[in-house]
């Protein structure tokens, strides 16, 4: 599979990452570049997707960066793994719902390898765990599709600070919490990026025409 895999060691400013993704999107559309998987962390930032509402901001002093991805408001920062991609669905089945399933299954299968049971929710996009009978989100998904090329991606909370989520209604969901993997597991997650990449590429083959 002709996909470039890129990993950034230092936190990346959100705006810079999106500029790179959109530049790659254009090149992939013009068939001038490979598809992309990019693993990184972001500098602290609140981002809002295309369906966010102003009343989902609980602290009006925070700065919100509006984006063109799907979804609502979330927070990115150190300790959170961000998995971006630029994937050409024209090479595969043009089925956005099945592509989202690829993303969801990639996260669920990866967490299962760490003996963490997680699941998707058709009403509330993302990946969830049951923490002492309370549903909490551990992974957020935000995807945009342009000319049948899917980009943006998902994020997994590993050992990030969860306090910034108190200033927003994360992903517009009021009655559920947010968790990170370190709070629910004693595992070390230093190889989780490698497993995510392997699972994603393997699951992507299910979309082959």
Residues acting as catalytic residues = 171
C-alpha distances out from residue 40 to 47, 112, 147, 153, Å = 16, 22, 25, 11
How far is it, in rounded angstroms, from Cα 200 to Cα 209? 17
Which residues neighbour 13 within 8 Å (Cβ) at sequence distance 6 or greater?
Answer: 42, 43, 45
- Residue where the block lists tokens 């943006």: 152
How far is it, in rounded angstroms, from Cα 166 to Cα 85? 28
* Sheet strands (E) in the chain: 3-7, 35-40, 45-48, 64-66, 73-76, 80-88, 119-120, 127-131, 134-146, 149-157, 177-178
């Amino acid at each position: 599979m002709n996909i470039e895999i890129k990993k950034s060691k230092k936190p990346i400013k959100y705006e810079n990452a999106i500029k790179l993704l959109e530049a790659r999107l254009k090149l992939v559309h013009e068939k001038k570049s490979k598809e992309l998987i990019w693993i990184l962390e972001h500098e602290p930032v609140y981002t809002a997707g295309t369906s966010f509402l102003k009343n989902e901001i609980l602290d009006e002093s925070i700065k919100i960066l509006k984006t063109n991805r799907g979804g609502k408001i979330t927070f990115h920062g150190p300790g959170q793994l961000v998995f971006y991609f630029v994937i050409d669905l024209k090479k595969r089945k043009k089925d956005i719902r099945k592509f989202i399933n690829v993303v969801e299954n990639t996260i669920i299968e990866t967490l299962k390898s760490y003996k963490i049971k997680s699941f998707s929710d058709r009403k509330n996009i993302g990946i969830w765990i049951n923490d002492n009978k309370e549903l909490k989100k551990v992974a957020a998904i935000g995807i945009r599709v342009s000319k049948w090329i899917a980009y943006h991606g998902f994020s997994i909370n590993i050992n990030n600070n969860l306090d910034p989520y108190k200033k927003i209604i994360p992903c517009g969901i009021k009655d559920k919490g947010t968790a990170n993997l370190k709070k629910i597991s004693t595992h070390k997650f230093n190889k989780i990026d490698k497993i995510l990449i392997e699972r994603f590429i393997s699951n992507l083959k299910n979309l082959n025409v």
